[in-house]
A and B are shown apart, each in its own frame.
Chain A
């Protein structure tokens, strides 16, 4: 599969999730492993440009497809506008949910450059922050939208 623009191969057990393959076999630990049932969004990645939970994709289903992880958002040392906005807004507490929220926010802003608060709420409804730091996460999304 192509990950962040480069071809990668992994020897996977066939029942493995894309998340497990990314983290344990392919060296992309950015997507986080928490609920393994699509409830928390911390493993959000783009599969052929579509936002998905990597824990709910069979690794074999990604064969021949394009995966973008949080590691693929920055341009070299230059952070993606959403990453920079999360830093500037202080939208990170423990940081566990951050990669998923950054990917989900980048996906939202690509489709909708200036979302309303309700649109942000709906777009990020699948990403849980157990520190409950949603106010600053919203600040970061608005900041990135205006960047």
Chain B
């Protein structure tokens, strides 16, 4: 196995083009588990830790560009807490401080797990995923980026370089159900915002991210609408019936928080 450590984004993209089978690794919180448990042995790893262009976030014309190397810890404790409160709440529920110090939103998108905690709050905020390669850069709406359980539209020569969004500044919140507060994969999670319209997205209740919207004056039926949009499964963490029920309850609670 080779570990390639590019120092710049152009170098990273060139290496990904030369080694399309390379596994990108940023925080390693998913990739290292796969390696440690021998679930994969890529010929090449692409260590993105030293690529400064992927870190932090920048503002441009009212929009925000979140680098794919932005960690949950940076979202939870930094300036974004006020701008993207639901994403900050979601970040705080990820794993433990150790995990949040390493895990990144780019990694969450790349893994494309239905339980990815960053996905519902990002979808509610209308996020787009920036995918780059030596061929150029494109932006894909988050709802189109994930195509199924752990599947996405990323081409073999592409890297996730950023997430773009224009903060709605709408009241918003994130909720998550699990056996304890820390270190849990969501049994079900939910992000809700109440701006010009009601918007919701959930985790662990559909193979790909789903956005549910309704006019504000239809708040009474919104919980039912959210639960109906889900397509949960029975698995070790919860049943289909429980997940749908929990989404109903969480949506009602979330609306009480955000309809102010």
Contact = CB atoms under 8 A, between A and B. Distances in A.
A44 interface: yes
Interface stretch (A52-60, A68-76, A77-85, A129-137): A52-60
B151 to A, nearest CB: 22
Interface string B40-77: 01000101010000000000000000000000000000
How many residues of B sit at the interface, in one of the four size bands?
A: 20 to 34
Interface residues of A, number: 28
A57 B102 contact: yes
Interface stretch (B92-100, B117-125, B153-161): B92-100
A39 B32 CA distance: 12
B148 interface: no
Contact of B101 (A37, A52, A58, A60): A52
Interface string A16-55: 0100000000000000000011110100100000111101
- In this complex, the member of A56, A57, A58 whose beta carbon has the largest number of chain B beta carbons within 10 angstroms is A56
B96 to A, nearest CB: 2
B28 A61 contact: yes
Contacts of A13: 1
Contacts of A14: 1-3, 45
Interface in A77-95: none
Given A15-B41, A44-B98, 16 more contacts: A13-B1, A14-B45, A15-B45, A17-B35, A37-B33, A51-B101, A55-B36, A56-B28, A56-B29, A56-B102, A58-B32, A58-B45, A58-B47, A61-B49, A104-B98, A126-B99
A19 B41 CA distance: 18
Interface in B1-34: 1-3, 5, 25, 27-29, 32-33
B1 A125 contact: no
